[in-house]
Structure formats: C-alpha cells, structure tokens
Structure 1
Amino acid sequence: MSEIINNRELKAMDPAKRKVILKQLFKDLHDGKNANEVRAHFDAFIGKITIDEIAGLEHVELAEGDLSVAEMQRIYSAHSAMFRGAIEDNFSTYGPEEQPGHPVHTFELENREIELLLQNRLQVHLEQFAEADSPEHINYLLEDCNLLYDIDKHYSRKENLIFPYLEKYGIYGPTTNMWRIDDFIRDGIKAAKQKLANYDGNKNTVIEEVQFVIREVSEMIYREENILFPMALQNFTEDEWVKIAHESDEIGYFLTAPTEEWKPARRQIDADAISEGYIKMETGILSLKQLELLLNHLPVDITFIDQNDVVRYFSHGKERIFARTKAVIGRTVQNCHPPRSVHVVEDLLRDFKSGKKDTEDFWIKIRDKFVYIRYFAVRDEDNQYIGTLEFTQNIDPIQALQGEKRILS
C-alpha cells in the first residue's frame, strides 16, 4: 500500500484518491493478504466509509471457475469484516422504513425473528448435540434447520425485488456478491439437513456445517441492515417502494409478516389500466384484456426475453413455479439468475442466437413438483432471432395419469 498512500489528513483526501486506496484494499484481500493488516490500513487511511462509496466501488468480478467456494466465502467474509463498524450513519431523509408494512420494516422484523431462531433454538440445540448426539438432539437440530430453510422467502424477496431496482441505478457489485452469499447459506442449510437426516456418527461435520450457517446468516443480517437497505433507501423512489410492497406477498415471508398495508404519505400508485383496444393476429382478433386473461389461464408459466436478453413479459397464472415480480421487466435475464448459474444461461442464448439450437429442455424435482422447463428460440419469418421463450410446467399430474378418460366427470 505504501506506493499509493501518503500522510495527508483524511478530511483533505481527494475522493478519487480514497477510491484508489479502497480498490487496492479490496485487491489485497482478494490476493490473500492478512485481513488484520488490511483492516489496519483501512482504519488509518479511510476511517469511515459512506454508502455512496461502497455503491461506487467498481465490482471486482470473481470467476467461479478460478476460485473455490471456500475461497469466495473467505473473501466475502473479509469484505464484511473490513466494513464492520466503519460505515457512516446514513439516516434516510424520507424515513418511511419505520412504518409497518414498508418493505424495509418487514425485512427488519424478519431479521429480529431470525436472530431469535438462531440464538434461542439453533445455537442451544447445537450445543446440546455437541455434548450428546442422541436421536432427540439430532431431531431438534433437524427441525430447526427445516424451519430455517424457509429463509429462502426472505432472500428471494431481496433478490427479485430489491436487486433489480439497485441495478436500475447502476449498482451491481453488492447485489452480485450478496446473491452468491445467499446461495452459500441455502447450500449450507441444505447440507446440514442432509447430514442430520442421514447421520453417520460424524459429529464434527454437522457442528461445522451448522456453525457456518449461524455465522453466515448473522453476517447477512449485518450486510442487509448496514449496506443494502440504506443503499436502497438512498436511491429508490416512493413509487418503487410501493411496487415492492405490493409484490412481496407473491413471494411470501419468513417467520413473520406485515400486519398492515403500508400507506405512503404522498399517494398510492394507481393500477395501470389495461387498454380495451384490439390486436389483429393472423388467426384471430383479441382484446388486450382477453389476451392477458388467456395467457394467465394457461397451466404453465411463460416468460419472454427479447434479442437483447431483456425480460419483456411473463404470464401471471394462479400457481407460479418460480417467483417472478414486475421488477424483472426491463432487466437482463443474466441478472435474474443466481451468479453460479449465469454461465448456463449464456451458453443457451449463444446457441440460440447462432442458430446452433432451436430448443433446450430441462427437468428437475422441486419439493413436491416435477418441473419440466423448455426453452424455444423465437425467430421471425426471415429466420432472424428475436428472443427466447421459457415454458415451465409442473408435470407431476400428467405423470400420474393412468388408463383413459372419455366422458365428463
């Protein structure tokens, strides 16, 4: 660091100089330098960091093919440790987050319940298991992990509702990193459940996995409340918060839920009126209302992205398989997927655009559903690629069919 740091007073330091130092500190952490030494440099030459500075840092991409999961976890933990206690208080001038029903208020209510779950149940039962790995203690710990696994709803709301708007304001780094950590946590809870459900007497592996989950979930609460939420409050408009609040119910909540609807001081967004105009197609004429109802009544989920990989439409059926919110409209499809699966999306789109493939199918088991996912390259009459159609269906009921049915029930 000596080649870029001088002894000028912090108050007089040029913002550009601070950014150079911060980028170098991040690089030092990535390169494996001692975290305590890096933090000492941070304290000496940066001291306090603002949300704007964190948002403005150019994100250093971590190639997952080049770094192990453990190495990525080390780097993210080092980032959090460097910022802990150093983020300047950033009080919102708008201040709606204290009102029940506001998305941030709900997120923080959930976080308090998560902390109670970690402290009063998971940690207690882990200590009991460490003393005696009896069937009773195994079951208690497994029940806790099963309950904690539903934290996916909390993280999904964040990923599908908060992240898209941050990206709209050009803020990508924190969202990419946080989504990766969310996935680490999901994987950790799942691994702990599997080890407990198929316990083979290896007590230490269970203890390490559950300790990892407790530590990372606690760290995520800190990241959310000291970095993510202040960053969102500083940038989002009231209208955007209203949209987020309205769409949160669709994904669901964890351990608690808003007890009342948030009513902003200025106004509620009026629902967009659907035009009663008609669309003439080659095989018929439908009103916009009819077309939307028709698509929403199909027993499948449909999503369309254009030739620039931007999400333009998704159907809104009664039972969606994957969470979709209106915030994804206008967002690139790459940013709608977890970072670790983006390469699959890129490969698929590359094959569609080049004409190498016209279709691709996947099938996966999701809880009680057997999900068939089909992708189609959409081409015009001149065979030019204009986008991709995603077609998702729960085929469990179809697989269960037997015999024939020829008359009405």
Structure 2
Amino acid sequence: MSEIINNRELVQEQKSRRQEILKEIIKELHSGKSVDHVKAQFEEAVGNITVAEISQLEQALMEEEGIPVSEVQRLCSVHTAIFKGSIEEIHTSDKPEDQPGHPVHTFKLENKEIDMLVNFKLQLHLEHFEKEDTEENIYKLIEDLNLLMDIDKHYTRKENLLFPYLEKYGILGPTQVMWGVDDGIRAAIKGAKEKLTSYDGDKKAVSAALYFVIKETSDMIFKEENILFPMALQTLTEDEWIKIAHDGSDIGYCLANPAGVWKPERAEIKADAMAEGFIRLETGILSLQQLELMLNHLPVDITFIDQDDVVRYFSHGKERIFHRTKAVIGRTVQNCHPPKSVHVVEDLLHDFKAGVKDVEDFYIKFRDKYVYIRYFAVRDGNGVYMGTLEFTQNIEPIQAIQGEKRILS
C-alpha cells in the first residue's frame, strides 16, 4: 500500500513540476522571448503535454498569475506554434465522436470544408489577385469571404452549446480565450471584405488582411481539434452531447450538414440506478429529485392518465385539493370515481380519443375553495392520443386579486 501511495505522490509531484515549467515558459513569452528560444526549452524540459494540462495552464495564467484574458488571447497563436506536434494523442476504446451526427463529428466535417475554403480556394484566389488585381479576381475573393462568413454558425454553436457545459464543470479560461479569438476572426473576415469592396489599389493591405484570416482560421481549426474537442470529450456526459446534437439545428451549420442522426447505444438502466439518475427532456436535463420537487411545488394538483385510462402519476403537493393515495396508481380512472359520475368520465375520454375535444373545464365550490378543474388531451407530434392530464387549482385567491403589483415588495 505504501508503494502505491508513494507512486501517486511522485506522479502528482511530476505533474505539478511540469505545470510550473509550462507556466514559466509562457511567462517568458509574455515578457518578449522569441518562440524559437522557448520552443527548444519546452521540448527539452517537458516533452509531450496533455490536453488537460494546456487547459489548466491557460486558466492558471489568468487566475493565479493575473494575466488578462486579452493577453492570453494574444499568446494563443504562440501556444499553438509550440504545442503542435507535442500534444499526446488521446486513445479511447470507444469513440462516439467518430459516429455521424455526433457534435464533434459535425464540427470536424465543417472544419474540413473551412480548411479547404481558406487554404485552397481563398489561397489560390489571393495568389491570382497578387499577380493581377483585376475586378474579376477581387470578386472571387469577395465570394470566398461571403462563404467564410458562414463560420459564424460554427463558432456560435461552439460558444452557445458547448461552452456552457464546459463552464458548468469549472473550465472557464479556455472558453473565454477561444471566444475572444473567435470574435477576432469574425472581425478579420469582415474587415478583409470591406477592404475588397472598397478597394483603393492598396494591394499589400488586402493581402495582409487575407493572410491573417487564413492563418487565424487555420490555427483555430487546430486548437479545436487538438485542445477543445478532446477536453470536451473527456468532460461532458453522453446526455449533454445528445442535447448539443439536438439543439445544433436551431443555430445552423457551416458549409456542411451533419452526416446523420447520432443514436448512441444506451445501456439498460436498472431501477435503482434510475432512482439516482437524470431525465433528459427536450428543453433541459433534470435529476429525478429535481423533477419531483418541481412538480410537487406547483400550486396546482396534477394527475396523468395514460391511453388505456390507467392512472400513472399524481403530484403530491402540501395542500392537495382532492385527496389521493398511492393505491390509485395502476388502477383505471373509472374505478377511481363513484358509479354515478363514471359516465361523465367515460364521455370525456371518448371525446378526447375521438379527437372531438382537446380540453374540458369544470368549476365547483368545494368546502372553502372555488376549484377550477381542467382536463387536457395529451397527444404526440403526430396527433396520436397518449393520455389525459387533469389540472386542479383553487382559484379563490386569484379571484380576490385587485389593482396591480409591478415591483417586489
């Protein structure tokens, strides 16, 4: 046991030492040392570096050393020059990111198209422009930049779908830095296009602007595929990737659409695991505890009856209007009502199933309450009847409301 503890301490000590060396190298860059100077030092002292260590390094620079986000953004390209070729490949036995439709697979498909656009098409047209700045050559470059402006969708999905999950796990530095670089690329593309649309004969200025776009865009592809995506794959859960894949179409895609719909193989969930697990909904993910507490805190009573008239669920708030016991779960709704009112229930369900009605309301005086009872036919996206939702509320306090209340008092 002591040998295991000693080995762990040694590994941790080596990791801390490596982190300190990396920090010193970046600080030297910050103070003005050349890339070649620190690159040799880096290769000699550190060797291979993991994606996680790069992430920790950038965050440490901002949090511990006080280097502003803007400075780390400026150093980002220098980081790339050093880290290329020295990032160890992350090997996994199962790679969902290689499956069509997985967000990372889609991001990489887009990157291939972006790379082809900037390093082949745009580069070729730029060389033609440098030889002869004709109207035709200018137009081709503007056309290329119009296509490249679609990169905003790629970056927006990354920033608004992927980054929030990383930040949830405390990964803040890399997301702040990369978002800033993304904005710089957006501005550079726009600026280069403006120089071309109002071309005044300054060929060098146009060339410099376009070479900057090509370099920064290419570097971002490298940073995403060798730093961001591996780090995200190590961090996010399968449910979170599913949510990102689902929401991607709301923003759109850049130069390439998903190659398919990603359907991961889900392990069979046991009852005890489900009790401690999460529920993935279309607009969010909740733990079972959160979901149940949320439903029980609503100021209404909810009961759900399935397509076979069987009671499947009722909320259990502090002040239920009509008493329910767990014994009703699994019983048909007809057996939960007195015989004299069963025909009303059956007529209502018949109308819901036949599509004659979608909602029915009742309101009655019950003890000291004025009770509003609403029934809703629950249908799927194709209009198929899936059950009935009963919604019961004491509206006496609502009816007593007068005037206005505009601010918290």
TM-score of the pair, normalised by structure 1: 0.61
The 1-side partners of 2:156 and 2:197 are apart by 25
Q: Secondary structure at the match of 1:107?
A: helix
Specify which structure has the higher proportion of helix. Answer: 2
**One-letter code aligned to 2:107:** F
Higher Cα radius of gyration = 2
Shift of 1:175: 1.1
**One-letter code aligned to 1:77:** S
User: For residue 123 of structure 1, what is the aligned residue in structure 2?
Assistant: 123
5 Å-filtered alignment, 1:371-390, equals 380-381=408-409
Unaligned runs of 5+ in 1: 1-9, 281-377, 382-409
Shift of 1:170: 1.4
CA-to-partner distance for each residue in 1:172-227, whole Å, 9 max, x for gaps? 22111111111111011000110001011111100000000001111111000000
1:153 aligns with 2:153: yes
5 Å-filtered alignment, 1:10-409, equals 14-57=14-57, 58-61=59-62, 74-266=74-266, 269-271=280-282, 380-381=408-409
1:230 and 1:78, CA in 2 relative to 1: closer, same or farther beyond 3 A?
same
**One-letter code aligned to 2:62:** E
1:195 and 1:60, CA in 2 relative to 1: closer, same or farther beyond 3 A?
same
1:133 and 1:270, CA in 2 relative to 1: closer, same or farther beyond 3 A?
same
Task: Confirm or deny: 8 A CA contact 1:59 1:172 kept in the other structure.
Answer: no
Shift of 1:79: 1.1
Shift of 1:26: 1.3
**One-letter code aligned to 1:202:** D
Q: Secondary structure at the match of 1:199?
A: coil
Task: Confirm or deny: 8 A CA contact 1:39 1:82 kept in the other structure.
Answer: yes
Task: Confirm or deny: 8 A CA contact 1:97 1:105 kept in the other structure.
Answer: yes
The 2-side partners of 1:29 and 1:23 are apart by 10
Shift of 1:67: 8.6
Unaligned runs of 5+ in 2: 1-9, 268-278, 285-290, 301-405
**One-letter code aligned to 2:114:** I
CA-to-partner distance for each residue in 1:237-263, whole Å, 9 max, x for gaps? 100100100111111100011132110
1:91 and 1:250, CA in 2 relative to 1: closer, same or farther beyond 3 A?
same
Shift of 1:73: 5.9
TM-score of the pair, normalised by structure 2: 0.61
**One-letter code aligned to 1:228:** L
Shift of 1:11: 8.7
Shift of 1:169: 1.5
Task: Confirm or deny: 8 A CA contact 2:62 2:69 kept in the other structure.
Answer: no
**One-letter code aligned to 1:35:** V
**One-letter code aligned to 1:178:** M
RMSD of aligned Cα (Å) = 2.8
Q: Secondary structure at the match of 2:61?
A: coil
Task: Confirm or deny: 8 A CA contact 1:92 1:230 kept in the other structure.
Answer: no
The 1-side partners of 2:407 and 2:22 are apart by 47
Instruction: Kindly tell me the number of residue pairs found equivalent between the two proteins.
Output: 271
**One-letter code aligned to 1:37:** H
**One-letter code aligned to 2:113:** E
The 2-side partners of 1:72 and 1:88 are apart by 22
CA-to-partner distance for each residue in 1:310-337, whole Å, 9 max, x for gaps? xxxxxxxxxxxxxxxxxxxxxxxxxxxx
Q: Secondary structure at the match of 1:171?
A: coil
